[in-house]
Structure 1
Amino acid sequence: MCGRLALTTPPDAVRTFFGYIDRPNFPPRFNIAPTQPLAIVRRDHGQRRFHLVRWGLIPSWVKDPSSFTLLINARAETAAEKPSFRAAVRHHRCLVPASGFYEWRRTPDGKQPFWIHPADGDILAFAGLWDTWCDPDGGDIDTGAILTMQSNRMMSEIHHRMPVILKPDAFDDWLDTANVDRREAMKLLQPVEDDFLVATPVSTRVNKVVNDDPDVQRPADPDELVLRHDGRATPKETGRDREDTSQLDLF
């Protein structure tokens, strides 16, 4: 699953990576949680645009959101058939910018949080869905969810699910709901390579949503160990050594 993420990449770099025409100036967020504002990129009138939605999708047909389950994630394997996501898969696909995300691994001593981010670069694009809910008393609210899939070998060391990560060459087709139908769009949702991400065990400060500062990404281990996809922990300074196949990089 994906229940916490960060967007700390400078706004201009995010804009360059996603190619939207807006110029938002947003502060770094180190601990974005469900129900909070979530940045998305969607296609409007043939152009990519930046928007903010509430994290937790509310389908347009819901009458009372207070009695409806908070949908922060959608399973990629079944989203196209589920009533809550079916219309969004057809008409409201989006990208969710993130510098990385957090996931928790169960251990004998409790849950250990990990900060998971690209091995190279500092920005990710999650496949997302959005919808607009109309309040009968007036006013609209845009909401969104992140698609997840079964973890690749990298992420399976931490959790059995992970966010769907799209590469730039898939952006146009994913966002083009007018010309790319849901069947073709869902084929774009593929696991990333096992060495695409690295995972660093971090402080349990991230467990509290009020903690939204750089310290939530502070390594929990004094030696700043990085978890690799083979389950081994190695010093952070060797974490991106692509020549040593025994230490390939590990949501």
Structure 2
Amino acid sequence: MCGRFALSIPVSDLPLPLQQHLSPEHRERYAPRDRIAPGEPLLVLRRDERDTSAALMLWGLIPSWSKDPGGGPRPFNARVETLDDKAMFRGAWRHRRCLIPASCFFEKGWRIRRVDHQPFWLAGLWERWLGADGSEIDSVTILTTTPNALIRPLHPRMPVVIPAGLEDGWMAAVDGAGLRALQPLLGCWDPTGWIRDRPADRDQLSLFESP
């Protein structure tokens, strides 16, 4: 599960593929965030029918076929084992994969981060909801998989992490053999170079608990 994470770094330290697609407005509005929760806007790197771009999306997937964006389930996580089976995720899994930058994520009061303090990519799926009045809502969910040795004592799920350098391959619109080629990225990732620790402000630990 991934229900809380942070992007607490300056804009100059964001992953280069994201920096290359930030608009002046994104750069002006960007601010480091120590706690990000479902229902809040996320900074996302995505590819649509036009090109690759940075975007702000609500965390909690709204299916494109939903009649009411305020009603019904809005999953903030999607299990990789059921992406092909659930109508809510099937189309996005094939054509709308995205990347969410993070500096750490939280589980049971623990902070999980890279030892070198570098940001990393969380794997996501995104959708665009279109209203009859012409309104648009872009939303996103984070993929989860079975835990590695670092996360297993805390929770039976963990977020999928996409290695740097594989951004284009992850976001490419593929089907069939192309999707099967992505399967190794959905499994339990190597915890070497990662650490879990406690946030410095122990009085604030409850703010980082996953729901």
Q: TM range, normalised to the smaller chain? A: 0.7 to 0.9
Partner of 1:183: 180
Mapped contact 1:165–1:191 kept (Cα < 8 A): no
- 2:168 maps to which residue? 172
TM-score norm. by structure 1 comes to 0.73
Q: Once the two structures are superposed, what CA deviation does each residue of 1:130-168 show, in whole Å capped at 9, x if it has no partner?
A: 001122343010000000001011110211110000102
SS at match of 1:67: coil
Which of 66, 81, 93 matches 1:62?
Answer: 66
CA apart distance, 1:207: 3.0
* CA distance in structure 2 between the partners assigned to 1:137 and 1:18 by the alignment: 31
Q: Distance in 1 between matches of 2:2 and 2:187?
A: 16
Q: After TM superposition, give the deviation of residue 90 of structure 1 in Å.
A: 0.9
Residue type of the alignment partner of 2:100: V
CA drift at 1:205: 1.9
Q: Which residue of 2 aligns with 1:109?
A: none
1:74 aligns with 2:73: no
Match of 1:223 in 2: none
Structure 1 residue 19: Cα displacement: 5.7
1:20 corresponds to 2:20: yes
Query: Normalized against structure 2, the TM-score is what?
Result: 0.86
> Which amino acid counterpart does residue 21 of structure 2 have in structure 1?
I
Structure 2 residue aligned with 1:93:
97
Match of residue 205 from structure 1 = 204
Structure 1 range deviating more: 41-50 or 23-32: 41-50
* Greater alpha carbon shift after TM alignment, 40-49 vs 81-90: 40-49
| Alpha carbons of structure 1 residues 199 and 27: separation in structure 2 relative to 1, 3 Å | same
The SS at the match of 1:70 is coil
Identity of aligned pairs, percent? 36
Q: Which residue of 2 aligns with 1:163?
A: 159
Instruction: Tell me, in whole angstroms, the C-alpha distance in 2 between the residues paired with 1:15 and 1:169.
Output: 10
Number of the residue aligned with 2:11: 11
Count residues with an aligned counterpart.
202
Return closer, same or farther for 1:139/1:17 CA change in 2, 3 Å cut-off: closer
Preserved contact between residue 126 and residue 166 of structure 1 (Cα < 8 Å): yes
RMSD value over aligned CA atoms? 2.3
Q: Could you say if the C-alpha distance between residues 200 and 65 of structure 1 is closer, same or farther in structure 2, counting changes exceeding 3 Å? A: same
1:103 aligns with 2:107: yes
Deviation at 1:185, TM superposition (A): 2.7
Residue 30 of structure 1 and its aligned partner are, at CA, apart by: 0.5
How far off is 1:170 after superposition? Answer: 2.1
Do the aligned partners of 2:15 and 2:101 also contact (CA within 8 Å) in 1? Answer: no
CA-CA distance at 1:42 after TM superposition: 1.0
The structural deviation recorded for 1:83 is 0.8
- The whole-number CA distance in structure 1 between the counterparts of 2:158 and 2:167 is 19
Q: Which moved more, 1:61-70 or 1:29-38?
A: 61-70
CA–CA distance in structure 2, aligned partners of residues 187 and 165 of structure 1? 11
Could you report, residue by residue, the CA deviation over 1:10-53 in whole angstroms, capped at 9, with x for unpaired residues? 21221425463224321010111111001110124675321110
Aligned partner of residue 161 in structure 2, secondary structure: coil
Q: In the alignment, is residue 150 of structure 1 matched against residue 150 of structure 2?
A: no
Provide the residue aligned with 1:194 in structure 2: 191
CA distance in 2, matches of 1:206, 1:143: 27
Higher relative contact order (CA 8 A, sep 6+): 2
Structure 1 residue 34 and structure 2 residue 38: aligned? yes
SS at match of 1:130: strand
Residue 182 of structure 1: how far off its partner (Å): 2.7
